[in-house]
């Protein structure tokens, strides 16, 4: 038991904690005690989310360890982005088959780089032995009463999406086909997704509802519509099509990736038609496009697109594992 405790302390201290000089005033008690004690800023509410990434379910076992660290945090931060929250603190529960120092160091580099860039301080950790599994809890702050939610879409609102979804699913497919150039733009989209924290914050007070695309555009749109009790009519011609997808895939397959590929972590929002230009103007400061792809309608469900796109909702990323 004592050996486990020592190893746990050692792993966290060596690979994941920051130098003491980097301490922040909002972290009253940080990593290393039984609990972290955190000070919420005045007028802010706490937004909390947890995500678990399991080897060969959520990421391939041979993915670069730095990318595994980055992704595990990115997918959790994406939920804060979807609420319009600012990232503040995170906790990491790491299950490892073995303590491989080189793997851990690279994993920690990927995790820490995104954590620091996002202002998200690691304030707690736990390490156990088992199949590689990464649990990340993120805590964010959002001005009281201003969190974006899935519910809130109104009839007539535009449905809009950030960036170019579909790239990550194709990136994973390329990885599974043996592509290993880490700078390949599609691989990069899968391995190092960028949580849209700044975009979410900029859309507070403007978007009427929001969700991040983790399962696929159509699947997550349906979550938003169910929460809002409404439907949507999409315009297939309006979908943003990423250049590297158009360059290599048939149009129909590109659209399948855009609508049903997961893992992009773009934001899907609804906004009043009169507010679209302002929303686009705000995101242009991030060089991030916001593309209207349809409209909220009173009839439940998703309309305006061929049923073959709806049939493939819920992209199966790892069929060989799950079958
Ligand atoms: Mg989400």
312, pLDDT greater than 90: no
Instruction: Calculate how far, in angstroms, residue 79's C-alpha sits from the geometric centre of ligand 1.
Output: 5
Quickly state the pLDDT bin for 311 (edges 50, 70, 90).
confident
pLDDT of residue 308: 87
Classified as helix, coil or strand, 226 is: helix
pLDDT of residue 24: 83
Contacts 24+ apart (CB under 8 A), 58-63: 60/172, 60/175, 60/176, 61/132, 63/175, 63/191
Instruction: Calculate how far, in angstroms, residue 151's C-alpha sits from the geometric centre of ligand 1.
Output: 13
Instruction: Calculate how far, in angstroms, residue 194's C-alpha sits from the geometric centre of ligand 1.
Output: 14
Quickly state the pLDDT bin for 4 (edges 50, 70, 90).
very low
**Worst-scoring range by mean pLDDT, 14-23, 45-54, 218-227, 262-271?**
14-23
**Nearby residues of 234 by Cβ (< 8 Å), 6 or more positions away:** 159, 293, 294, 302, 303, 304, 305
In whole angstroms, what is the distance from residue 315 CA to residue 323 CA?
A: 14
Residues annotated within the binding site for ATP are: 125-126, 150, 214
pTM of the model as a whole: 0.92
Instruction: Calculate how far, in angstroms, residue 131's C-alpha sits from the geometric centre of ligand 1.
Output: 24
Domains and CATH numbers, the chain: 2-143 (3.30.1330.10), 158-316 (3.90.650.10)
Instruction: Calculate how far, in angstroms, residue 264's C-alpha sits from the geometric centre of ligand 1.
Output: 11
Region of residue 289 (left: phi > 0; alpha: psi -120 to 50; beta: else): beta
In whole angstroms, what is the distance from residue 235 CA to residue 231 CA?
A: 14
Instruction: Calculate how far, in angstroms, residue 45's C-alpha sits from the geometric centre of ligand 1.
Output: 18
Task: Determine how β-strand 37-38 pairs with β-strand 27-29.
Answer: antiparallel
DSSP 254: H
In 3D, which of 223, 208, 220, 188 has the Cα closest to residue 74? 188
In 3D, which of 217, 309, 218 has the Cα closest to residue 264? 217
pLDDT tens-digit map of 130-187: 999 999 999 999 999 999 999 999 999 999 999 999 999 999 999 999 999 988 999 9
pLDDT tens-digit map of 249-273: 999 999 999 999 989 999 999 999 9
């Amino acid at each position: 038991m004592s050996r486990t405790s020592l190893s746990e302390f050692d792993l966290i201290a060596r690979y994941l904690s920051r130098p003491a000089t980097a301490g922040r005033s909002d972290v009253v008690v940080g990593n290393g005690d039984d609990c972290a004690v955190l000070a919420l800023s005045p007028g802010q509410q706490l937004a909390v989310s947890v995500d678990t990434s399991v080897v060969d379910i959520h990421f391939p076992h041979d993915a670069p360890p730095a990318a595994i660290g980055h992704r595990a945090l990115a997918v959790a931060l994406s939920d804060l982005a979807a609420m319009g929250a600012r990232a503040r603190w995170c906790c990491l529960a790491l299950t490892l088959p073995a303590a491989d120092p080189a793997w851990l160091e690279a994993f920690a580099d990927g995790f820490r780089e995104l954590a620091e860039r996002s202002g998200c301080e690691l304030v707690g950790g736990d390490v156990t032995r088992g199949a590689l599994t990464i649990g990340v809890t993120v805590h964010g702050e959002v001005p009281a009463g201003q969190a974006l939610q899935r519910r809130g879409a109104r009839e007539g609102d535009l449905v809009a999406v950030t960036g170019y979804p579909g790239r990550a699913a194709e990136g994973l497919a390329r990885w599974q086909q043996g592509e290993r150039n880490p700078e390949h733009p599609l691989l990069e989209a899968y391995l190092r997704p960028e949580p849209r924290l700044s975009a979410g914050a900029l859309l507070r007070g403007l978007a009427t509802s929001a969700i991040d695309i983790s399962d696929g555009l159509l699947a997550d749109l349906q979550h938003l519509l169910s929460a809002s009790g409404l439907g949507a009519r999409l315009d297939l011609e309006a979908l943003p099509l990423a250049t590297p997808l158009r360059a290599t895939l048939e149009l129909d397959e590109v659209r399948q990736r855009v609508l049903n590929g997961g893992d992009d972590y773009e934001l899907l929002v609804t906004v009043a038609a009169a507010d679209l230009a302002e929303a686009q103007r705000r995101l242009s400061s991030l060089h991030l496009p916001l593309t209207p792809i349809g409209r909220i309608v009173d009839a439940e469900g998703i309309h305006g697109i061929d049923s073959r796109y709806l049939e493939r909702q819920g992209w199966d990323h790892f069929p060989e594992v799950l079958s």
